[in-house]
Structure 1
Amino acid sequence: MYGYYGYPLYDWRLNPPMTWSPSKVMLDRQLRALWEQHVYWTRLTVNSIIERLPDESVTTARLLRNAADFGAALEPIYGPAIAAAFAELLRGHLTIAAELVKALLAGNTAAAEDAQKRWYENADDIALFLSRINPYWSQAEWQKMMHEHLRLLTSEVSTKLMKNYEENVALGDQIEAQALEMADMMTTGIIQQFPARFNL
């Protein structure tokens, strides 16, 4: 099986790095923190929108900072142009999510369906983009992971709207675990692509 540029795909689950240098650990910690912040601030923003809390604007602003923080993390590795492009795609993912929540809260089915459609298109764009910049990142695998991420977030929003709090909290645990899988997949691909950079 081959990736976008014809490189053989690397199965990060079957072939994890065997040794962890301090630089590898630092990268993994950084990406895990960013993905955890991604889902943490998404959850808080969803809650603020649905409950019409006064912190909605500042909470949303902090959520959107996650896209810029991802860009800053990737810039030393991939350069400013690629980092900025990824940050823009991720910002789109976050802003569409907020649109979707507001449409669902208002009972605007047409707007919700439009946002959902654009949300999945954005997820597919992210998967394609990542597969193009790293031969060890599979477009199909990233698409699968991103679609699962959206499915879980949609369920989180739905259970919050329905006031099914126990299921909502349980979904939060699933979302965090799945986000950490994406972080590890991202870390492993970068290490495989730039092994010399992470020897120390």
Structure 2
Amino acid sequence: MYGYSPTYYYCVHRNIPSMAWPLSKVMLNQKLRALWEQHIYWTRLTVNAIVGGQPDEKETTERLLRNATDFAEALTPFYGPAIAARFGELLREHLTIAAELVKALLAGNTAAAEDAQKRWFANADAIAEFLSRINPYWSQTEWKNMLYDHLRLLSIEVTSRIAGNYKENIAINDQIEPQALMMADVMTNGIVQQFPAAFTR
């Protein structure tokens, strides 16, 4: 949006064959995949509710924001409540800025939209930096690239919905889902590498 053309490179997804995974790792991966799926699912529903002026906008947005709390709960066993809560705060900021951006674009408020978009990418930078500090197996550059890609795809989803280009809007979701699952897998592998004793069986 607004002429933003990020330059980044797709990371090489380091996947480990699931047959070699202990049950504990499978369960963690399923949990994180579910959280990232819920992240994009409720983001989409919230965007649609805002753009369409749906009566469930408040409730849908509240459910979306719960995703940040759910992520914090999933990370607490590994990083403790304080670090996990900080990640939840950063993710909640990501979600609230997204809602601001949608409303600004819908209202045609270019200045507000540009400000929200700037803060959105700054938040992505902060998340990437934070994750790289708490886990030596999470690359700041890799997370920044993945989060930028996530924002780029969501931006297209929002603008196509506002424009009423529903065919493109649906098609872009086919790209959003696997990209989100890739982030879940990278998150899983990093945790397992950092805490190998927790995943022996």
Q: TM class, shorter-chain normalised?
A: over 0.9
RMSD of equivalent CA atoms: 1.3
Q: Distance in 1 between matches of 2:13 and 2:104?
A: 37
- In the alignment, which residue of structure 1 is the partner of 2:152? 151
Q: How far is the alpha carbon of 1:16 from its aligned partner?
A: 2.8
Report the secondary structure of 1:44's partner residue.
Answer: helix
- 1:72 aligned partner: 73
Question: When the two structures are aligned, how many residues end up with a matched partner?
Answer: 190
Write the deviation string for residues 133-154 of structure 1: whole angstroms up to 9, x where unpaired: 0000000000000000000000
Moved more, 169-178 or 12-21: 12-21
Q: How does 1:133-148 map to 2 (within 5 A)?
A: 133-148=134-149
The answer on whether the counterparts of 1:149 and 1:178 sit within 8 Å (CA) in structure 2 is: yes
User: Which residue of structure 2 lines up, in the alignment, with residue 7 of structure 1?
Assistant: none
Residue type at the aligned position of 1:94: L
- Map 1:47-196 onto structure 2 (within 5 A): 47-196=48-197
Segments of structure 2 that go 5 or more residues without pairing to the other structure are 1-10
Task: Give the conservation status (yes or no) of the 8 Å contact 1:100–1:116.
Answer: yes
Q: Aligned-pair distance for 1:13? A: 3.0
Alpha-carbon distance in 2 for matches of 1:52, 1:35: 25
Which consecutive aligned stretches of 4+ in structure 1 deviate over 6 angstroms post-superposition? none
Q: Which amino acid aligns with 2:160?
A: T
Q: Structure 1: state its 5+ residue gaps.
A: 1-10
Contact 1:12–1:189 (Cα < 8 Å) also in 2:
no
The aligned residue for residue 13 of structure 2 is: 13
- TM-score, normalised to structure 1, is 0.92
Contact kept in structure 1, 2:138 and 2:190, CA below 8 Å: yes
